[in-house]
Amino acid sequence: MPDQATTTFRPRVLSGMRPTGKLHLGNYMGALANWVKLQDNYECYFFIADLHALTTDYADTSAIAPNTLEVALDFLGAGLDPEKSTIFVQSQVKQHYELPLLLGMITPLGWLERVPSYKEMIENLAHKDLTTYGFLGYPVLMASDILLYQPQFVPVGQDQQAHVELTREIARRFNQFYKLADREVLPEPKVLLTPSPKLPGTDGRKMSKSYGNTIQITDPEPVVRQKLKTMVTDPARVRRTDKGDPDKCPVGDLHKVFSTPETLAKVYEGCRSAGIGCIECKGWAADGLVQVLNPIQERRASFTEPQVVEILHAGSGRARKRAEQTMQEVHTAMQLTLTGAAS
C-alpha cells in the first residue's frame, strides 16, 4: 500500500504540550482531540516540550521524565498514531538547543518583555525565581520549536496565539537579515485555532491542574462518578423542588460537550421543571464522560512503557532528520559554513 505521506502533498502542522503529568479532560478536548482529527489530512509533528518545563522547574527536574512518559501515553490513548504522526520529545532532538541560540541573537528584548503572560507568570509563580534568562527566552524556544519544522500551521488554543504571533515576527526578522537565493528559510506559520469548548472543573471554574478541579483522562469510572457527585450546580437550585437552568450550571456545560442530543433535551426539560434531581442528572453526565474515556483508557493500557519509549525514540529520530534539514538552510543563509567562505 502506498504511503500517503509520500504520495500526496499535505500541509505540515506542528504542535506541542508541556509535560505537566497526566492530562485532564480539558487538555483532551482543547487540544488532543483536535490533533487526532488532523492526522489524516496533514503531515503532523506533535511533541512533548520537556525543555519548556525547565523554564519554570529547573530547580527540581525529577518529575519531568516521568511526566513526559505519562503525557506520551495520553497522546497514544487519545488516538495519536505513530504510523501517521511524528511523535517526539523535544530534549531528544538537539536542534531544539541549537536554533534558539541563533534566533536569540536577533530577538529584541522588548519583544520578550512585552509577551502578555511574562509578567503575569512571574507574579503567579512567586515562589519560584523566574528572573532567569531561560524564562524570558521561553518564546524564543517556542519559536524555534515551530520554525525548525517549517510548518504551514500551528494548531493551538487561544492562550498560545500570542506566542505564535511572536514566532511569525521572529521569522520575518530572520528572513530580512538572512536569505537563500531560491526560497525563504523560515516561512511564517499560521495559527490553526483549535476549537475548545468551555470545560468547567468540579468547582465550576475552568478545568485546570492548578485549581485541583480536574477530571483526568485516566480516572476510572467510579472516580469520575464520585467527582461528578461533588460537582457544583446551578446555585439557584438549592432544594430538589427548586427549578434550575442548565445554562447556569457547570454540569449542564459538561452535558453540552459529552451527552447525546436526547439526553441534553431531557436535562433541559427536567432541570427547568424540577422534574429531575441533580444526582440523577449528574449520573447521566457521568455516563457521557465514561463513553468518551473508556476507549481512550483501553488504548492507553495497551501500550507498555518500553513500547512508548521505542515510539518516542523512533519519532525523535524522524524529527531530527527534518529539523536538521532546516538547520542546514539556516547555517547556509547565515553564512556559518566554512566551505566557500574564502572564495
Cell numbers for 188, please give them: 511564517
Near ligand SF4 by CB under 6 A: residue from 39, 160, 167, 233? 233
| 16 touches ligand TRP (CB under 6 A) | yes
Which residues does residue 302 pair with via DSSP β-bridges, in sequence order? none
Task: Give the x/- contact pattern for ligand SF4 in 184-223, rule: CB under 6 A.
Answer: ----------------------------------------
Which residues does residue 47 pair with via DSSP β-bridges, in sequence order? 16, 88
Cα four-point dihedral sign 179, 181, 187, 188: positive
Give the binding range for ligand SF4 (CB under 6 A) out of 17-25, 97-105, 245-253, 310-318: 245-253
| 281 touches ligand SF4 (CB under 6 A) | yes
Least gap, CB of 31 to ligand TRP (angstroms): 8
E strands of 188-312, at which residues? 190-193
Contacts of 124 by beta carbon, 8 Å cutoff, 6+ apart: none
Task: Give the x/- contact pattern for ligand TRP in 134-173, rule: CB under 6 A.
Answer: --------x--xx-------x-x---x-------------
CB 217 within 8 A of CB 22: yes
CA-to-CA dists, residue 110 to 53, 146, 218, angstroms: 23, 21, 42
Backbone phi, then psi, for 88, in 5-degree steps? Answer: -145, 175
**Residue 291 vs 302, nearer CB to ligand SF4:** 291
The continuous run of DSSP H or E covering 45 comes out as: strand 43-48
Question: Of residues 36-65, which lie at the interface with ligand SF4 (CB under 6 A)?
Answer: none
Q: Which residues bind ligand TRP (CB under 6 A)?
A: 14-18, 49, 52, 142, 145-146, 154, 156, 160
Applying CB under 6 A, the residues found at the interface with ligand SF4 are 233-234, 237, 244, 246, 249, 251-252, 267, 271, 276, 278, 281-282
